[in-house]
């Protein structure tokens, strides 16, 4: 007899489908993992674009003009969130998921304590927080394309 014979549930109910899927998954776990890996490898560009779109969507919720509030940089590749009062690292550690901030902003996190800064301006802000004073550095965005 076939050892992998499944009990047959001819059920359209959600519970029945759940049970069938759970059994199928136990028997085909590795195959499912391999297929998922293959799909991710094949659709790398699609996933990357999707992640970028989510990021831009979250940026728009913080600041609709999509520019650095200090230097005016508009290149989306360089923009990132800044926690005005610090604590960004701590927040990312608490939630534990890389890039989870985009998700939380898109699903209702308050954005009063956030602003958009380019990476150099964000680092200057970090140094100002660390040393507790103004840093004599200034970022100039020329607007030239790369
Ligand atoms: Zn800037």
Q: Measure 116 CA to ligand 1 centroid, in angstroms.
A: 8
What residue spans define the domains of the chain?
A: 41-131
Measured between its terminal Cα atoms, the distance across the chain in Å is: 67
Print the SS3 string covering the chain: CCCCCCCCCCCCCHHHHHHHHHHHHHHCHHHHHHHHHHHHHHCHHHHHHHHHHHHHHHHHHHCCCCCCCCCCCCCCCCEEEEECCCCHHHHHHHHCCCCHHHHHHHCCCCCCCEEEEEHHHHHHHHHHHHHCCCCCCCCCCCCCCC
Compute the distance between CA of residue 55 and CA of residue 80 in angstroms, rounded to an integer: 9
Task: Specify the pLDDT at position 2.
Answer: 47
Q: Measure 31 CA to ligand 1 centroid, in angstroms.
A: 47
Task: Specify the pLDDT at position 99.
Answer: 53
Compute the distance between CA of residue 4 and CA of residue 22 in angstroms, rounded to an integer: 14
How many residues appear in the chain?
A: 146
Compute the distance between CA of residue 10 and CA of residue 143 in angstroms, rounded to an integer: 63
Where the chain has pLDDT below 50, the residues are 1-2, 98
Compute the distance between CA of residue 23 and CA of residue 17 in angstroms, rounded to an integer: 10
Q: Measure 48 CA to ligand 1 centroid, in angstroms.
A: 24
Task: Specify the pLDDT at position 100.
Answer: 80
Task: Specify the pLDDT at position 8.
Answer: 59
The whole model's pTM is what? 0.71
Q: Measure 136 CA to ligand 1 centroid, in angstroms.
A: 14
Task: Specify the pLDDT at position 1.
Answer: 44
């Amino acid at each position: 007899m076939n050892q992998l014979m499944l009990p047959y549930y001819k059920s359209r109910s959600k519970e029945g489908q759940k049970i069938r899927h759970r059994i199928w998954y136990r028997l085909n776990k590795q195959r499912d993992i391999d297929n998922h890996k293959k799909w991710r490898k094949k659709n790398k560009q699609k996933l990357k674009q999707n992640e970028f779109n989510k990021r831009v969507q979250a940026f728009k919720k913080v600041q609709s003009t999509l520019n650095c509030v200090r230097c005016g940089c508009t290149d989306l590749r360089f923009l990132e969130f800044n926690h005005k009062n610090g604590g960004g690292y701590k927040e990312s550690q608490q939630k534990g998921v890389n890039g989870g901030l985009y998700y939380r902003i898109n699903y209702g996190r308050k954005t009063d304590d956030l602003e958009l800064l380019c990476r150099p301006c964000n680092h200057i802000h970090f140094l100002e927080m660390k040393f507790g004073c103004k840093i004599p550095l200034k970022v100039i965005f020329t607007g030239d394309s790369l």
